[in-house]
Amino acid sequence: HPGREKRRRPLDEIAPGHPAWPAWAQAGLRAAQVAPSAVNRQPWRFALGTDGAVEVSSAGRDMPLAPARRLDCGIAMLHFELGARGAGCAGVWEPLAGVAVARWVPTRI
């Protein structure tokens, strides 16, 4: 429906503990939060590792990672990267297996 605002999952749901994350990661999360997804499912979740990398995984860890979910996570990853880079953090994505899709490893903050 044109003009109708899309509902977005709260940051607390897609990235538990996010208030303690660095500013560049917060910017990445805000960008990922508005990323489009199939049927507005937003099947991604983010986690900050102890090494400072941010992992993106598919929600519903008990479900196989269908191609549409992987694509949705990829769209969120692009948005996260744009937000992080806009906040001054360069990095690279490292692919992971299973529901853990990839992790953003900062190379320059």
The answer to whether residue 9 is domain-embedded is no
The answer to whether the CB of 32 falls within 8 A of the CB of 83 is: yes
What tens digit of pLDDT does each residue of 33-44 get? 999 988 778 889
Q: Are 89 and 109 in contact (CB under 8 A)?
A: yes
**pLDDT tens digits, one per residue of 42-93:** 889 999 999 999 999 987 655 556 778 888 999 999 999 999 999 999 999 9
Specify the CATH number for the domain of residue 73.
3.40.109.10
Residue 19 or residue 68, greater confidence: 19
Q: How far apart are CA 1 and CA 59, in angstroms?
A: 26
Whether residue 4 is contained in a domain is answered as no
Does any domain span residue 14? no
| pLDDT of 28 strictly over 80 | yes
How much is the pTM? 0.87
Q: Is residue 13 part of a domain?
A: no
Tally of domains in the chain:
1
Task: Tell me which residue range forms the domain holding 88.
Answer: 19-108
For residue 99, being part of any structural domain is answered with: yes
Which pLDDT score, from 0 to 100, does residue 103 have?
Answer: 97
